[in-house]
Amino acid sequence: DGGITQSPKYLFRKEGQNVTLSCEQNLNHDAMYWYRQDPGQGLRLIYYSQIVNDFQKGDIAEGYSVSREKKESFPLTVTSAQKNPTAFYLCASSGQGRYYEQYFGPGTRLTVT
Amino acid sequence: GQSLEQPSEVTAVEGAIVQINCTYQTSGFYGLSWYQQHDGGAPTFLSYNALDGLEETGRFSSFLSRSDSYGYLLLQELQMKDSASYFCAVNERDDKIIFGKGTRLHILP
């Protein structure tokens, strides 16, 4: 079955630690995205990538970093510089030219204390 | 700046019809998408309108008026499983979309 996987589903970290969230897709999609969702809020774009070895900042990139070394993988690192990292993180992908139709992974709920 | 406005909550009765509106103000516009998200779950794509008019997919329909910067999602024959949050999203450029804050749909039996 094709789809997007994110791991882990729940993640707990202490303040001051960097943490990397995994995102893998086997849909052969070129574009991948990372969003952050806070309670009662919409999805805010952190970073996105249209091709391997290239990515662009979204609206709230500060305190986050990404890499795109393989088409299938787009890991997100939440650094200690991110002021309020506790949130629900969603990874998505889309086919070429179909940026409006995004497929989402199940999400990772990160709690930093 | 860019903005998308949709009601925060809507309540309807099982079996009825409900319309969720979305107005937008963006620097560019390629189209309007709609997504559904159940509590604790991932958003799923419902529909996309690039041109004016109504698109129908089963019980769900989506409408767009580019001249009014307005669209809506219409859900017919409401079922309890339709209880979820619904997001409109603008395709502002040809490589990303911007999501609204979502409308929480409550369905009463």
For A76-94, what is each residue's pLDDT tens digit?
999 988 999 999 999 999 9
Query: Where is pLDDT greater, at B71 or A2?
Result: B71
- What pLDDT, on a 0 to 100 scale, did the predictor assign at position B88? 97
Mean pLDDT taken over chain A: 94
pLDDT at B70 > cutoff 70:
yes
- What pLDDT, on a 0 to 100 scale, did the predictor assign at position A1? 64
From A42's Cα to the closest Cα of chain B, the distance in A is: 4
- What pLDDT, on a 0 to 100 scale, did the predictor assign at position B2? 78
Q: Which of A76, A63, A73 is nearest to A35 (CA)?
A: A76
> Which of B96, B104, B105 to probe the A interface (max A CBs under 10 A)?
B96
Write out pLDDT tens, residues A22-36.
999 999 999 999 999
Give the separation between CA A27 and CA A49, rounded to whole angstroms: 15
Q: Count of CB contacts below 8 A, A vs B? A: 55
The β-bridge relationship of strands B60-65 and B53-57 is antiparallel
Verify whether the Cβ–Cβ distance A104 to B44 is below 8 Å: yes
Question: Could you identify the residue written with the tokens 């024959």?
Answer: B77
Give the separation between CA B72 and CA B19, rounded to whole angstroms: 6
- What pLDDT, on a 0 to 100 scale, did the predictor assign at position B47? 96
User: Quick one: average pLDDT of A96-104?
Assistant: 92
Write out pLDDT tens, residues B4-23.
999 999 999 999 999 999 99
- Give the amino acid at A105: G
Q: Which of B44, B28, B32, B45 is nearest to B6 (CA)?
A: B32
User: Quick one: average pLDDT of B91-101?
Assistant: 86
pLDDT at A39 > cutoff 90:
no
Question: Could you identify the residue written with the tokens 């204390």?
Answer: A113
Helix (H, G, I), strand (E, B) or coil at B43: coil
Task: Provide the sign of the torsion angle of the four alpha carbons A61, B98, B91, A73, taken in this order.
Answer: positive
pLDDT at B94 > cutoff 80:
no
DSSP B38-50: -TTS--EEEEEES
The β-bridge relationship of strands B103-108 and B9-13 is parallel
- What pLDDT, on a 0 to 100 scale, did the predictor assign at position B1? 66
> Quick one: closest CA in B to A89, which residue?
B42
Provide the pLDDT confidence category of residue B96 given band limits of 50, 70 and 90: confident
